[in-house]
Amino acid sequence: MTEKLLEQFKQIFKTDQPVRTFFAPGRVNLIGEHTDYNGGHVFPCALTFGTYAVVGRRNDQIIRMYSVNFPDVGVIELSVHDQLARKKEHDWANYPKGVIKEFIDRGVQIETGFNVLYYGNIPNGAGLSSSASIELATAVALQSIMETTFSSVELVKMSQHAENEFIGVSCGIMDQFAIGMGKKDNAILLNCQTLDYQYSPIVLEDASLIIANTNKRRTLADSKYNERRSECERALSQLQKQLSIKSLGDLTPEQFESNRHLIESEVDQKRAKHAVYENARTLQAVEKLQQGDIESFGKLMCDSHNSLRDDYEVTGFELDILVEAALNQEGVIGSRMTGAGFGGCTVSIVKNDKIEAFIQEVGSRYSEKTGLQAEFYVANVGDGAKEM
């Protein structure tokens, strides 16, 4: 992979300068969906596919960026002295530009320019966090070539801030955290309110994680995401009139049930219920995994999907069909949608000796019901963003 990218770097930038290569993974969230911006817990892991960045210093003050994935956009060129602003015509390059601005805003002097070639092998639009992956690939590359000393958590926060402020997507911190802090063969239990975290080994014995991509364009995801956020914020502010809480993640299911009447709208009640119960489910699921009780972990994954379908209403026809088809297969321990919803992916735990049949049967059933072709990946859990 890297040999080919080095060759492309030379061709695009017409240089033999020495280069360094960085990598940031994609991520999948095993359980704890739409809890991150509600101050709850999430349980993601980094994957072994992601975004590569090949970087070489220049002798002038020009920054040139190129993506193998978006050749039509061509080379994006800017000066280290430019006022960095989001530009529609810069397309994908707005993500690295936002991260560069974060470094500058923290007083980092970018004295000389650089060439950078990006390549990502995260399936497009799958909801496995290609945007956070390119942000962290940029952040670790800049940290190395500028010789700055930000902590890994600081780079994570800078990348999230770039997406919130520069790109304008009010995402929680989970994606950037999982990608920046990932650890091989471990998932991360993260408290999104305090950023306390712990690694938890993923030991599935004779089973594997299978990601299935619906290949449905996620047209509603952004607008519905913002809508759900505001529904939860409204529910929280009504609960806060009588309860001393900072977020929905502060409530147990029992406390929620005793106080749900404070939330005026029935729809807002359902949204808040999901956030509270999903947080409790996540903590319980991690405990079960640590005890080696994979069956119970799988059941909690299914409960999570049902809640996302019925209370949070972010699944949609395609995701529901994939999960339903998965649960009808022998050897499936659990299955749920993962990510923002309205398309994207499911994640399932499948017995190793049933994987081939699972892919064939679920793919066939899905295609028959939706007219779309699903793609399947056996997920290998890898390290976070780093120099290669």
Q: What beta strand segments (E) does the chain contain? A: 20-29, 41-42, 44-57, 62-67, 76-79, 114-120, 186-191, 197-201, 207-213, 332-338, 345-351, 375-379, 386-387
- Per residue in 289-329, pLDDT tens? 999 999 999 999 999 999 999 999 999 999 999 999 999 99
CATH of the domain at 12: 3.30.230.10
Residue 362 is predicted with a pLDDT of 98
Residue 167 lies in a domain: yes
Band (124; pLDDT cuts 50, 70, 90): confident
Q: What is the pLDDT of residues 262-271, one digit of tens each?
A: 999 999 999 9
What pLDDT was estimated at residue 219? 65
186-191 and 41-42 strand pairing: antiparallel
Residue 356 — left, alpha, or beta (φ > 0 → left; ψ -120 to 50 → alpha)? alpha
DSSP type of residue 249: G
Whether residue 77 is contained in a domain is answered as yes
Predicted local distance difference test score (pLDDT) of residue 17? 86
Query: What is the predicted pLDDT for the residue at 72?
Result: 94
Q: Is residue 135 part of a domain?
A: yes
pLDDT tens-digit series, residues 85-113 = 899 889 999 999 999 999 999 999 998 99
Average pLDDT score, the chain: 95
pLDDT confidence tier of residue 172, bands split at 50, 70 and 90: confident
DSSP state of 183: B
Which residue in the list 60, 72, 175, 250 is annotated as catalytic? 175
CA-to-CA distance for 249 and 330, rounded, in angstroms? 35
Where is pLDDT greater, at 222 or 3? 3
Cβ neighbour number for residue 276 with a 10 Å cutoff: 27
Say if 321 falls within a structural domain.
no
Confidence of residue 76 (pLDDT cuts 50, 70, 90): very high
Q: Please indicate, yes or no, if residue 154 is contained in any of the structural domains.
A: yes
pLDDT at residue 51, as a whole number: 97
pLDDT at 128 over 90: no
CB 272 within 8 A of CB 263: yes
Rounded to whole angstroms, the Cα distance separating 221 from 211 reads 19
Contact between residue 239 and residue 272 where contact means Cβ atoms under 8 Å apart: yes
Is 222 a residue whose pLDDT tops 80?
A: no
**173 falls within a domain:** yes
Element (H, E) at 252: none
CA distance 44 to 27: 7
164 falls within a domain: yes
Interval 196-222 mean pLDDT: 89
SS3 361: helix
176-193: per-residue pLDDT in tens? 999 999 999 999 999 999
Examine the residue annotation and report whether 175 is marked as an active-site residue of this protein. yes
In terms of residue numbers, what domain contains 124? 2-202
Check pLDDT > 80 for residue 223: no
CB 50 within 8 A of CB 133: yes
Task: Please state the pTM of the whole predicted model.
Answer: 0.93
Which of 42, 63, 83 is closest to 138 using CA atoms? 63
Report the pLDDT value the prediction gives residue 178, as an integer from 0 to 100. Answer: 97
**Which of 361, 256, 316 lies closest to 40 in space, CA to CA?**
256
Q: State the pLDDT at residue 109.
A: 92
What is the count of structural domains for the chain? 1
Instruction: Look at residue 69 and tell me if it is in a domain.
Output: yes
pLDDT over 70 (residue 220): no
